């Protein structure tokens, strides 16, 4: 009698409160066929709330701060070794605010996933929500993508729009974008872990229907 494949071992990297981590863990709990488990959570800040979320669930954690003047290459190499020690198959950047280079990425080619609060390639970088508001766009959104060495640049797995209201602040708009992220990121990670994504250059094709897009979020 054939046995099912073991779950893919995930590392999740965070910098803040870890709401995307929480959404991912909840999605794994809900779906026995998700095909993955979180085996370590890392952060670049010792006070990152995401670490507390992981500890509350008994998930191993690691904090690797990067101070001004530190050797970035050495920091990245250490982070890679720390994660490799957990036999990780996929790395999820869930609000992780550090740029990663080949020093790290080469260990998981096309297996590092990021979520970004804009419709890439628009508004790359750390201030995407504020820049969307300043530019006066009527629609922004969320993008889940594979990570390469350029900032917010890798092949796009999934996107969903969020409408910008006339009275939006950066905080109110970001909250609506997070609502989409909390659904789109787990769906994309599940598809990757289940082998349902085909990457062809910059194109990512779903071998099963992509997660259904909902109406633009007002």
Angstrom distance (rounded) from CA 187 to CA 212: 10
Q: Which residues contact 32 (CB under 8 A, 6 or more apart)?
A: none
Residue 3 lies in a domain: no
203 pLDDT higher than 80? yes
The proportion of the chain whose per-residue pLDDT surpasses 90, expressed as a percent, equals 88
Evaluate the omega torsion of the peptide bond into residue 121 and state whether it is cis, within 30 degrees of 0. yes
Q: How many domains does the chain have?
A: 1
> What does pLDDT average to over the chain?
94
Residue 165 belongs to domain spanning: 8-206
**pTM for the predicted model, two decimal places:** 0.93
The answer to whether residue 174 sits within a structural domain is yes
Tell me if 217 is assigned to some domain: no
Residues acting as catalytic residues: 116
> Is residue 93 in some structural domain?
yes
Q: What is the per-residue pLDDT across 143-193, written as a single tens digit (0 to 9) for each?
A: 999 999 999 899 999 999 999 999 999 999 999 999 999 999 999 999 999
Closest CA to 145 of 192, 83, 100: 192
Name beta bridge partners: 92. Answer: 12, 113
Query: How many distinct helices (H) and strands (E) make up the chain?
Result: 6, 9
**CATH number of the structural domain spanning residue 160:** 3.40.50.170
* Residue 191 three-state SS: helix
214 inside domain: no
Burial of 67: CB neighbours in 10 Å, binned 0-12, 13-18, 19+? exposed
Q: What's the gap between Cα 58 and its chain centre?
A: 21
pLDDT digits (tens, 9 = 90+) for 69-120: 889 999 999 999 999 999 999 999 999 999 999 999 999 999 999 999 999 9
Band of pLDDT at residue 2, cut at 50, 70 and 90 = very low
Is residue 72 in a domain? yes
Q: Identify whether 136 is part of a domain.
A: yes
Q: Which residue has the higher pLDDT, 161 or 209?
A: 161
Is there a domain that residue 215 lies in? no
Rg of the chain's alpha carbons, rounded to an integer?
17
């Amino acid at each position: 009698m054939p046995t099912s494949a073991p779950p893919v071992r995930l590392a999740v990297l965070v910098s803040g409160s870890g709401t995307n981590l929480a959404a991912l863990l909840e999605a794994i709990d809900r779906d026995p066929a998700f095909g993955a488990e979180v085996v370590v959570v890392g952060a670049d800040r010792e006070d990152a709330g995401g670490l507390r979320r992981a500890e509350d669930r008994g998930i191993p954690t690691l904090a690797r701060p990067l101070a001004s003047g530190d050797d970035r290459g050495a920091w990245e190499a250490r982070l890679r070794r720390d994660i490799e020690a957990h036999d990780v198959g996929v790395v999820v950047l869930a609000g992780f605010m550090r740029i990663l280079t080949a020093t790290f990425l080469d260990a998981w080619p096309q297996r590092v996933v990021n979520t970004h609060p804009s419709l890439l390639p628009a508004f790359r970088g750390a201030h995407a929500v504020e820049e969307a508001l300043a530019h006066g766009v009527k629609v922004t959104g969320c993008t889940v993508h594979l990570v390469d060495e350029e900032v917010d640049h890798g092949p796009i797995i999934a996107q969903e729009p969020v409408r910008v209201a006339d009275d939006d602040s950066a905080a109110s708009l970001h909250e609506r974008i997070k609502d989409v992220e909390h659904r789109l990121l787990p769906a994309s990670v599940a598809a990757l872990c289940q082998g349902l994504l085909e990457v062809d250059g910059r194109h990512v094709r779903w071998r099963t229907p992509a997660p259904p897009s909902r109406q633009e979020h007002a």
